């Protein structure tokens, strides 16, 4: 099939590349000239494991091209995917201006053309957006089209795997023809039998928000439970295992930490809250989830103050991990941002290392912090180490080397990377999430 993908951000680039990998001809459109130039030269513009091989192969085979010519892409392709940003507005709602602007441009291009088109919203959009896009297209004079909702369920760091072998495909449209056409497009991706779920547009749009908000709620519940475990002497890891063996609950998304971040969960939770208020059906549970998550990001700072006191002037902290999760350079709403800003406010100095988010972090901190070359450089002459992202390379360091590098053998682990028993044996003071402190010292700096 001939497919246009409008927007080459995270979702758009993965979508376009993976469709091309299945033999489709894909035209990706973007108006960011510097990004477009890099893509045309064969450079992947996002950090996503496994994407580069597919990207290079499909450019080489001529199935994947990049352009700023929206008119040509729309005229050449029957199916047009909108993979545009929907950032959070000041009131928590999703900003739909990019989606609506492109819909208006497509309508203007097609108003005198009778070729049939399917316009597919792949952006995460609130309920009712498909209707709004359809109205914009109709108002422009464009007649021969259908609109569909096809939300993405891509995990950063695993996006290629998720797209090529999806758990499910969700398609929302009132048009049987559009549903059938999109089902044909996706059939090669679900040959193992995973379902293609067809529904009306409103149900499809809600499904995306419902899934992300539910997962955010699970994470938040575990973080609350972890805080309780610390107070009563329980071990949240043991509790987690006891819960996860119940097949009604399952094992996934039960790991406590320092709060969720990223481009999806915070934005989607707030957008669903705002939409529910707009429709006079406020989802108060999600309001609490959002509030708890914001507080959880700074729980580790409270532990640092319990060890060092309120004034952190003159102290230096090493940071392992800046991205909101492993296998990405994405720092949007990352707990590290809030934690580092709070530590700087308290007078601390910071040196940090992340395997992928080094350049991204400069957008948030510029020269406010020191950037390290590796984990041991980040631990040199520090008063304590903070682990804020659970990258695999952090899991088995040379503790003797760390001990000789650090001023104090103190670790604040926001991701429960290490085992308390081991930390006790090697003599580190070790704070984690939902587990008891190991080798707690007298306060170092009162």
3-class secondary structure, 396 = coil
Total Cβ atoms within 10 A of residue 414: 27
Q: Are residues 111 and 185 in the same domain?
A: yes
DSSP secondary structure letter of residue 94: B
Same domain membership, residue 36 and residue 138: yes
Burial of 278 (0-12, 13-18, 19+ CB in 10 A): middle
Question: For residue 147, what is the enclosing H or E element?
Answer: strand 145-149
Same domain, 340 and 194: no
pTM of the model: 0.92
Structural domain span for residue 147: 2-199
Clarify whether residues 156 and 97 are in a common domain: yes
* Domain count of the fold of the chain: 3
For the segment 217-235, the average pLDDT, to the nearest whole number, is 97
Handedness of CA 354, 360, 362, 368 (dihedral sign): negative
Whether residues 35 and 179 fall in one domain = yes
pLDDT confidence of 91, banded at 50, 70, 90? Answer: confident
pLDDT attached to residue 90 = 85
Question: How confident is the model at residue 440, as a pLDDT?
Answer: 83
Length of the chain measured in residues = 446
Taking each continuous run of H as one helix and of E as one strand, the counts in the chain are 18, 14
* Residue 283: predicted pLDDT: 95
Asked if residue 446 has pLDDT above 50, the reply is no
Residues 62 and 138 in one domain: yes
Residue 113 has a pLDDT of 87
| 440 lies in some domain | no
Which of 32, 28, 136, 125 lies closest to 86 in space, CA to CA?
125
Please say if the pLDDT value at position 200 is more than 50. yes
**Residue 181 Cα to chain centre, angstroms:** 29
User: Are 287 and 303 part of one and the same domain?
Assistant: no
Mean pLDDT of 17-44: 96
Among 278, 295, 312, the domain boundary falls at 295
Q: Which tens digits make up the pLDDT trace of 139-191?
A: 999 999 999 999 999 999 999 999 999 999 999 999 999 999 999 999 999 99
* Residue 7 to residues 3, 14, 67, 90, 264, Cα–Cα distance (Å): 13, 11, 10, 23, 17
Domain boundary (199, 229, 253) is at: 199
Whole-number pLDDT of residue 445: 47
CATH number of domain containing 140: 3.40.50.720
Backbone angles phi and psi of 333, in degrees to 5:
60, 25
Q: Are residues 110 and 241 in the same domain?
A: no
Shared domain for 64 and 138, answered yes or no, is yes
Question: Is the CB of residue 440 less than 8 Å from the CB of residue 409?
Answer: no
185 with 111, same domain?
yes
The closest of 321, 317, 319 to 391, measured between CA atoms, is: 321
Catalytic residues: 264
| Phi, psi dihedrals of residue 88, rounded to the nearest 5° | -75, 130
The CATH code of the domain that includes 280 is: 1.10.1040.10
Both 22 and 87 in one domain: the answer is yes
* pLDDT confidence bin for 443, thresholds 50/70/90: low
Q: What is the pLDDT of residue 438?
A: 94
Asked if 82 and 6 count as a contact pair (C-beta separation under 8 A), the reply is yes
Q: Which two tokens stand for residue 347?
A: 């007078």
Question: Tens digits of per-residue pLDDT, 104-117?
Answer: 999 999 988 889 99
Give the pLDDT score at 5: 98
How open is the CA angle 298-265-221, to the nearest 5 degrees? 60
pLDDT at 422: 96
> Both 302 and 277 in a single domain?
no
pLDDT at 281 over 50: yes
Average pLDDT value over all residues in the chain: 95
For the segment 299-330, what is each residue's pLDDT rounded down to a tens digit? 999 999 999 999 999 999 999 999 999 999 99
Choose one of 168, 199, 230: the last residue of a domain.
Answer: 199
> In 371-403, which positions are buried (b, 16+ CB within 10 angstroms) versus exposed (e)?
bbeebbebbeebbbbbbbbbbeebeebebeebe
């Amino acid at each position: 099939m001939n497919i246009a993908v409008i927007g080459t951000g995270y979702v758009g680039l993965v979508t376009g590349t993976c469709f091309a990998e299945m033999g489709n001809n894909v035209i990706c459109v973007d108006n960011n000239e510097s990004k477009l130039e890099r893509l045309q030269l064969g450079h992947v513009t996002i950090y996503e494991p496994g994407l580069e091989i597919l990207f290079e192969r499909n450019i080489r085979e001529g199935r994947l091209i990049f352009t700023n010519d929206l008119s040509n892409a729309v005229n050449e392709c029957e199916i047009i995917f909108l993979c545009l940003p929907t950032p959070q507005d000041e009131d928590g709602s999703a900003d739909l201006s990019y989606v609506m602007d492109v819909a208006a441009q497509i309508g203007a291009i097609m108003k005198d053309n009778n070729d049939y088109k399917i316009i597919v919203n792949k952006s995460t959009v609130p309920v009712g957006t498909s209707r709004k896009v359809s109205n914009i297209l109709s108002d422009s004079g464009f007649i021969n089209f259908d609109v569909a909702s096809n939300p993405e369920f891509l995990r950063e760091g695993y996006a290629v795997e998720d797209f090529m072998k999806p758990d499910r495909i969700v398609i929302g449209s009132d048009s049987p023809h559009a549903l059938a056409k999109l089902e044909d497009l996706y059939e090669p991706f679900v040959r193992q039998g995973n379902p293609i779920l067809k529904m009306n547009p409103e149900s499809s749009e809600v499904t995306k928000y419902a899934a992300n908000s539910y997962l955010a709620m699970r994470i938040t519940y575990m973080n609350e439970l972890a805080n309780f475990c610390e107070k009563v002497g329980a071990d949240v890891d043991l509790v987690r295992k006891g819960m996860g063996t119940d097949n009604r609950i399952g094992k996934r998304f039960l790991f406590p930490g320092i709060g969720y971040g990223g481009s999806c969960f915070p934005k989607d939770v707030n957008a669903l809250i705002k939409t529910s208020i707009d429709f006079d059906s406020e989802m108060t549970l999600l309001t609490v989830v959002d509030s708890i998550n914001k507080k959880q990001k700074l729980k580790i700072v409270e532990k640092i103050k319990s060890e060092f006191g309120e004034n952190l002037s003159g102290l230096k902290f090493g940071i392992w991990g800046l991205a909101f999760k492993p296998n990405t350079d994405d720092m949007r709403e990352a707990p590290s941002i809030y934690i580092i800003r709070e530590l700087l406010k308290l007078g601390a100095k910071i040196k940090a290392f992340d395997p992928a988010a080094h350049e991204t972090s400069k957008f948030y901190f510029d020269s406010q912090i020191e950037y390290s070359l590796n984990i041991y450089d980040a631990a040199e002459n520090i008063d304590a180490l903070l682990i804020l992202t659970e990258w695999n390379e952090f899991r088995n360091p040379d503790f003797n080397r760390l001990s000789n590098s650090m001023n104090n053998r103190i670790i604040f682990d926001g991701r429960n990377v290490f085992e308390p028993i081991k930390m006790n044996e090697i003599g580190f003071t070790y704070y984690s999430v939902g587990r008891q402190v190991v080798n707690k010292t007298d306060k170092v700096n009162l």
